[in-house]
Every structure is written in structure tokens, then in C-alpha cells.
A and B are shown apart, each in its own frame.
Chain A
Amino acid sequence: EEQLVESGGGLVKPGESLRLSCEVSGITFTNVWMSWVRQAPGKGLEWVGRIKSKGDGGTTDYAAPVKGRFTISRDDSKNTMYLQMNSLKTEDTAVYHCTTEPGSYFGYWGLGTLLTVSS
């Protein structure tokens, strides 16, 4: 069974850093493009960024609000994707979901992990 499990969320202050993880099982992780999508309280879904499979170059793309502050990486030996978030802002408060990206849409999703940025 395909499963994506996010972890690492919590309460941080503005300007601080945090790293989220997404552990994947039941899928051939090596071949999969992965994305992060977030949902702020009372708001809709927002794409954060993605990482391609290493076979497709392993490159990353980011949404404008997080570019330069967030970094996505992957460790195929651990079936895990990461989201390193620096210089956090209150507007980054959201539930962060990891997803697979089989073809410009989002296939499997995790339940998400909550990040709260507040002083």
C-alpha cells in the first residue's frame, strides 16, 4: 500500500528554520517526482515546490513566495524527501503535505504536518 508520512512540523518563531521530512513506502521512490503542497488555516491549497527524480536530473522548482528560503532535497536510499525551511515567516503557517507528481498533477498525498510560525 502506498503511504506518505510527513514529520517535523511544530511551533517556531519568525526568522527561525525547520526541516520537514516525508517518508514514502509502497512506491518505487527512485523513479518518482515529488512535491510539497501546503494549506494555510482557512485557505486553499498552494504548491510549494518539487523535486524531480535523479534519473530526470533531480532538479527543483519553487513557488515565488518560498524561493530562496526553502530547499527541497531527497535521499533515495531512505525513500525520503525533505523540505528545509529558513527565514520562516508567519505567512508560512500551514499544514504541509508531500505528494507524488506522476504527471503534472498530484497523485498520492500524505496527511500533512502542521507548521506554526508565531512569536
Chain B
Amino acid sequence: DIQMTQSPSSVSASVGDTVTITCRASQGIANWLAWYQRKPGKAPKVLIYSASSLQSEVPSRFSGSGFGTDFTLTISSLQPEDFATYYCQQANSLPWTFGQGTKVEIK
């Protein structure tokens, strides 16, 4: 199975800050990576797929990059509604696996 390692596990930030989350795959996955946002009591929401493609209706302050084993999710100008937990997921080979999550908290 492909292991996905996210860092940091949590980050404190203020509204307006730029936050960067990284995700590393245990083997190369080309651009087969997705990012999700999870808020308490709500269904997870896909933000990015194919490493850098923005899902429809997701604000442009979210962006993704990377190829192979190293990927990043960047949230520019953090908004109050962005405080949540973020997960990466490899979509290269079954079983699909997720990173352990990064909690973005209010500073």
C-alpha cells in the first residue's frame, strides 16, 4: 500500500495568512493526488484533484502543486470558513489511502 504522510499535523494561523500543507507519498504517484477539507458535522469536500485541478466552485485561494512523491496544498489569504482539517489522498493505485490530516486552527 502507498503510505501518505502529511505535515504539519496541525497549524495555527490568522485570517489573511497563507498556509501551506505538504503531503509525501511513499512511492511515486505521478499527479494522482486529491485534497479534501473536513469540518465537524459536515461531509468532507474535495478541493483539488489531479494534484492541481481546482474542483468546481472551490475558491481560487486554494491551490495544489506537486508531482511524483511531494505535494503541497496552499491556502492564500485564509478565511474564517477555512479553519478545518485537510486530508490528502493518493489516487494512483488501490487501496486508495489518505494522509493522517492537518488541522488548521485559529491563532
- Tell me whether B72 is interfacial, beta carbon within 8 Å: no
The residue that B34 contacts in the complex, of A46, A97, A105, A109, with Cβ under 8 A, is A105
Contact A63 B43 (CB under 8 A): no
Known contacts A61-B94, A97-B44, A111-B43; is A106 also within 8 Å of B34 by CB? yes
* Majority SS at the chain B contact face: loop
Stretch of B15-23, B75-83, B98-106 on the interface side: B98-106
Please give the residue numbers on chain B whose beta carbons come within 8 Å of chain A beta carbons, in ascending order: 1, 32, 34, 36, 38, 41-46, 49, 87, 89, 91-92, 94-101
Residues of chain A within 8 A (CB-CB) of B42 are: 111
The residue that B45 contacts in the complex, of A61, A64, A103, A109, with Cβ under 8 A, is A109
Known contacts A97-B44, A104-B96, A106-B44; is A45 also within 8 Å of B49 by CB? no
**Residue of B1, B49, B95 most packed against chain A (CB within 10 A):** B95
* Majority SS at the chain A contact face: loop
